[in-house]
Structure 1
Amino acid sequence: MSLSLLFKVQKILRPILLPVSKGYGAAMARRERKYVHGEYERFRPACPCISVGNIGSGGSGKTPLADWLLKWAEREGLKTVLLTRGYGAKPARLPYPVNGFSPVDEAGDEPLMLANANPQAKIIVDPVRKRSGAWAMGEFKPDLMLLDDGFQHMAVERDLDFVLLTPDDFTSGWNQVIPCGTWRESVLGMQRADVFFVKSGPRAFTQMRSLIKQRLAEFGRPVFQFELCAKGLKLLGGGERLGFGSDKYLLFAGIGKPEILREDAVEYMGRKPEEFMIFKDHHAYTAQDVELIRKKAAAMGVKKIICTPKDAIKLTKLGCEDFYVIDLEVEFTESIFFDRTEEAPFNSWWNKQILTDAYSK
């Protein structure tokens, strides 16, 4: 079901869903209090720990931001471990360290992407992250630990909570808790955030600046805009980055919020896709899927079949070397501070001292 259709259904059923939504939000608040008061066991890493998570679900850019942090840590000479549940993964053992040779069905698509892009880091899959965290501390003795999708995973203590939002979270999605909306907890949970990120273009962020300030001023935390900028195309079979061109193309994706990808692709390619095939998030592609994609492309006479890096990682053994993947890079531009700090993009503001100060508190 597309997000737009989901929103329509939620709006129609809101009178029925609202009591459930309020109950869910209250249950999450009680759970948080139990962790805070020590009623639930927590694991404390013996190094700085950053959680990269969100208040809603899907499409907020957690994996690209985690990738950026892993690369920053490497430049700073920090040995880093990233803990992830590995959505959809079926690891042979737990905890499961991922490397570039791990089968995608064992590792999961996003952990394998991160491992391929950051061979110096340790990517560990385990739904019980206090277990994998303790194991990784003993095994690798890291200088930094990252929690992927960790905002609601309070069993591991962290020094900084990076909370990612999308433009929808500030408008129709604001404080709309499951099942009325996509939020995993109510707005009260935002008090735990240390840094906010908004995944949008700089122009959209500027247009929303007053609304963002209105929504987030009470928390007093810095807010940074970031976006995934497409730099070109690459063949799945390897090779140099290529220009987009203006050829007819078929686009397909199994990601959260695919509608945003379609809009972006139109901008990149200068034209609409002849076909946009949407698969469920984290879809496990099969030979039959590839055959269907190829048949549709041939029927429409398209010259390029294009997907995202998240899709590409699952297609490497299905004979898709001639498919194209969008080559993306994270870029930071705008920011909002609620104190006298001079506004600067995240990559200019962020440094090792901020991490050290948070750890020493």
Structure 2
Amino acid sequence: MRRTPDLQQNLLRAWYGHHGGLWLLRPLSWLYQRIAERRRRRYLSDPAASWQPPVPLIVVGNITLGGTGKTPMVIWLVEHLRNRGLRVGVVSRGYGARPPTWPWLVQPTQDSAEQVGDEPLLIASRCQVPLVIDPDRPRAARHLLEQAPVDVIVSDDGLQHYRLGRTLELVMIDHGRGLGNGRCLPEGPLREPASRLREVDLVVRTGATDDSADGYAMGLQPGELVNMKTGERVRPDAWSAPPRVQAVAGIGNPDRFRQTLESLGFLPEVHAFADHAQYNENSFAAFDRGEPLIMTEKDAVKCAAFARDNWWYLSVDAILSTEFVAALDAGLDRHLQPGSQPTH
């Protein structure tokens, strides 16, 4: 796998590879952990410091840096809640976004990934759901409620954004990488100490095959290959071109994309870019040699304007157990307003 030079990727490899030299950062890690714990206690002891929306809010977050599958989970939640008859809205920080103003209601047919961020644009485009971006998440939630009738809000990330009150906390963990060396930043990948997992409502392990005491399993099921130029859709098992392909993955865990492509019978040369990388028409010139190029759906929303005939993206769907669904619905039903209570 070829990677573009990136400090975050180097750190991720060190954290999850248990690099021995990281112990030099332990004093900073200890200080970071104490500050994180003190900050959380301060918000817990002062309810007035947080704003609780008038409708239930589900935070989909993590305690680690690196990809954990938050975006597929948010998409799954939106679809699941809609199937229950609930009106859903989403709020997101909009990492790297530069909208005309804050807060901003994403318009998927008009906005670009550069304006609103890759993940918000992907979620809004795929789900056709009202989605507001703003680093000030309470302000984003207020704006969402002003713009659309909503029964439930899903927060894309924001577990540590304690100014925004929440009804349920759902934490994602990459099953293969776990918590890395188990240390807080900067010695390790943890945003909060591992003990935080005992306080959340639901833990989901992306890539696990079975539910366990450590969390519910979430599988990522490959969908169709979609041609970025024509919109043609092809099942991977009906792919008629040679299996050797170039692949682009600008996500938190690009190795997962390689494994997915190989499981479908492809022979990919994977080019790993930084998470949230910005692309232009020359970004792939060094390896765009006429072979088909497959990228993640998250990368595709940033490349649609200059896509070529043999560029494709692979759609992916989250798969969760009936036990997870039951636990989620039970936790949510306790907080739904009587008028929004769906009929099961």
Q: How far does residue 224 in structure 1 lie from its aligned partner after superposition?
A: 1.1
| Matched-pair identity in % | 25
Residue from 238, 254, 257 that aligns with 2:250 = 254
Match status 1:325 vs 2:304: no
Residue from 225, 247, 269 that aligns with 1:233 = 225
Query: CA, structure 1 residues 279+169, in 2 after alignment: closer, same or farther (shift >3 Å)?
Result: closer
Query: CA, structure 1 residues 7+36, in 2 after alignment: closer, same or farther (shift >3 Å)?
Result: closer
Give distance in 2, aligned partners of 1:48 and 1:169.
31
Match status 1:280 vs 2:254: no
Is the 2:228–2:307 contact (alpha carbons within 8 Å) kept by the matching residues of 1? no
Match status 1:73 vs 2:81: yes
Give distance in 1, aligned partners of 2:301 and 2:148.
26
Q: How far does residue 200 in structure 1 lie from its aligned partner after superposition?
A: 0.9
Is the 2:18–2:181 contact (alpha carbons within 8 Å) kept by the matching residues of 1? no
Is the 1:10–1:179 contact (alpha carbons within 8 Å) kept by the matching residues of 2? no
**Which residue of 2 is the match for residue 188 of structure 1?**
195
Q: How far does residue 327 in structure 1 lie from its aligned partner after superposition?
A: 2.0
TM-score by length of 2: 0.87
Report Cα offsets for 1:26-57 as digits up to 9, x if no partner. Answer: 10000001111118721110001110001112
Is the 1:51–1:160 contact (alpha carbons within 8 Å) kept by the matching residues of 2? yes
Query: CA, structure 1 residues 100+74, in 2 after alignment: closer, same or farther (shift >3 Å)?
Result: same
Q: How far does residue 167 in structure 1 lie from its aligned partner after superposition?
A: 2.3
Please list, as runs of the form range in 1=range in 2, the aligned pairs for 1:1-361 lying within 5 A after superposition: 1=6, 2=9, 5-7=13-15, 11-38=19-46, 41-101=49-109, 102-119=111-128, 121-168=129-176, 170=178, 173=180, 175-202=182-209, 205=210, 209=212, 213=213, 216=214, 223-237=215-229, 238-244=231-237, 245=239, 247-269=243-265, 271-273=266-268, 275-294=269-288, 297-298=289-290, 302=291, 304-333=292-321, 344-347=322-325, 349-351=327-329, 353-358=330-335
Higher relative contact order (CA 8 A, sep 6+): 2
Q: How far does residue 268 in structure 1 lie from its aligned partner after superposition?
A: 1.3
**Which residue of 2 is the match for residue 339 of structure 1?**
none
Q: How far does residue 253 in structure 1 lie from its aligned partner after superposition?
A: 1.2
Q: Secondary structure at the match of 1:13?
A: helix
Report Cα offsets for 1:82-141 as digits up to 9, x if no partner. Answer: 11001111111111001222122111110000111111x211010001111122223324
Aligned-residue CA RMSD (Å): 2.3
Is the 1:79–1:142 contact (alpha carbons within 8 Å) kept by the matching residues of 2? yes
Give distance in 2, aligned partners of 1:188 and 1:262.
32
Which AA in structure 1 matches 2:227? Answer: L
Is the 1:46–1:137 contact (alpha carbons within 8 Å) kept by the matching residues of 2? no
* Structure with greater proportional helix content: 1
Q: What is the number of residues matched between the two proteins? A: 324
TM-score by length of 1: 0.83
Query: CA, structure 1 residues 174+193, in 2 after alignment: closer, same or farther (shift >3 Å)?
Result: farther
Q: How far does residue 174 in structure 1 lie from its aligned partner after superposition?
A: 5.4
Deviates more, 1:22-31 or 1:174-183: 174-183
Report Cα offsets for 1:264-291 as digits up to 9, x if no partner. Answer: 211112x432x22111111111111143
Query: CA, structure 1 residues 144+100, in 2 after alignment: closer, same or farther (shift >3 Å)?
Result: same
Q: How far does residue 349 in structure 1 lie from its aligned partner after superposition?
A: 4.9
Structure 1: 5+ residue runs without aligned partners? Answer: 217-222, 334-343
Give distance in 2, aligned partners of 1:158 and 1:321.
44
Q: How far does residue 10 in structure 1 lie from its aligned partner after superposition?
A: 6.4
Q: Secondary structure at the match of 1:105?
A: helix
Query: CA, structure 1 residues 356+230, in 2 after alignment: closer, same or farther (shift >3 Å)?
Result: same
Which AA in structure 2 matches 1:231? Answer: G
